[in-house]
Amino acid sequence: MATNTESVFRSEGIPVKDRFDCWRELVSRTRDSDVTSEHCDDFRAEMRRLELGPVTLLRTSFPPTRFHRTARRVRNSDPEVFHITLLLDGGFTLTRDTGHTETFGPGNVHMLDSSHPFDLRSFGTRAAKAPGDLRVEAVGVDFPIALLPLAPHRLEDLLGRGFSSREGPGALVSDFLLSLDRQAAALGPAESPRLGGIVVDLVTAWLARELDAEAAVPDDTRQRALVENVRAFVGRNLPDPELTPTMIAAAHHISVSYLHRLFTRHSGGETVAAFIRRRRLERARRELADPALRDLPVHAVAARCGLPRAAEFSRAFKAAYGLSPRDHRLSALAGTAGG
């Protein structure tokens, strides 16, 4: 049975002489290359690896480092793995076997695979907490190329290119990876295959659009990607009291009846309206427990979450959590004050 296996590396807990080798070994499990760094004598890095079935999520922070996958390495061993990396801080300069070189900055997403040589050099920015350190921050995902229902030779046109993480289908993939990273510690084993599958579905839908090959994507993959688009749209628009299934359907150019059928099918029977209500209540619950918002009236917190009718909000909140919004806030903030 697939499990959610999380491993966390922090260099501070490892002897100085072993830090770089330990980090390099972790990286090389899915990104096999010659890894070198001018900072290997005192390599200060962090990495979280999260295994989601056949999908591996990597969140890492490290000094400037070079990753060189040579033609010889490709000939000797090719696991046929696809790599996607979202750069959060620092920069990358990538030279492919074609001779093309491109530089990426924060907010850029790029793709590589294990079947082609590459030379990736990272350069860092000054860390806020330790100005003397140069840091690179990135989140990435690796999975077998065979999971993509797209012709491998067509994917070659996308390798090494930089894409924006702030707009279009690439933004949805990036947001989902960041969400997985934030929730990594709380994810259970039963969720792993589903979440790994969603990653592949979102990547497939994104790449198919870039290649103008959406007809090649299986119906189920397209549907699951659309449902994730809907969930993300709801998350961005929760404060809007006019957020309704009709508005969502119009924004995604589908009928309301199709939205209902599709969402319920891929959400364990939960309706769109129930999902919106649950997300709003969850956000209100978090905000009521936030010390920074303690002076904001309960009804104002509710309105911020798209629930402007105070009486209805109070009834729904108590039905969901067993406490009135006010009592929840008092209990949560008392716990904060006691800490």
For 69-110, how does the pLDDT look when each residue is reduced to its tens digit (9 = 90+)? Answer: 999 999 999 999 999 999 999 999 999 988 889 999 999 999
Task: Please state, in angstroms and rounded to a whole number, the distance separating the CA atoms of residues 28 and 167.
Answer: 31
Q: What is the pTM of this model?
A: 0.78
What rounded mean pLDDT belongs to the chain?
89
Return the amino acid letter for 110: H
| pLDDT of res. 337 | 58
pLDDT > 90: what percent of the chain?
63
Confidence tier at 45 by pLDDT (50, 70, 90): very high
Nearest to 234 by CA among 281, 194, 269: 281
Give how far the C-alpha of residue 301 lies from the chain's centroid of Cα atoms, to the nearest Å.
27
| pLDDT of res. 204 | 93
Architecture (CATH level 2) of domain 245-338: Orthogonal Bundle (1.10)
pLDDT > 70: what percent of the chain?
96
| pLDDT of res. 103 | 94
- On whether the 4-217 domain is CATH 2.60.120.10, my answer is yes
Confidence tier at 186 by pLDDT (50, 70, 90): confident
SS (H, E, C) 15-83: CHHHHHHHHHHHHHCCCCCEEECCCHHHCCCEEEEEEECCEEEEEEEECCCEEEECHHHHHHCCCCEEE
Listed in order, the ranges of the chain carrying CATH 2.60.120.10 are 4-217
Give how far the C-alpha of residue 98 lies from the chain's centroid of Cα atoms, to the nearest Å.
30
Mean pLDDT (whole number) for 202-230: 89
Listed in order, the ranges of the chain carrying CATH 1.10.10.60 are 245-338
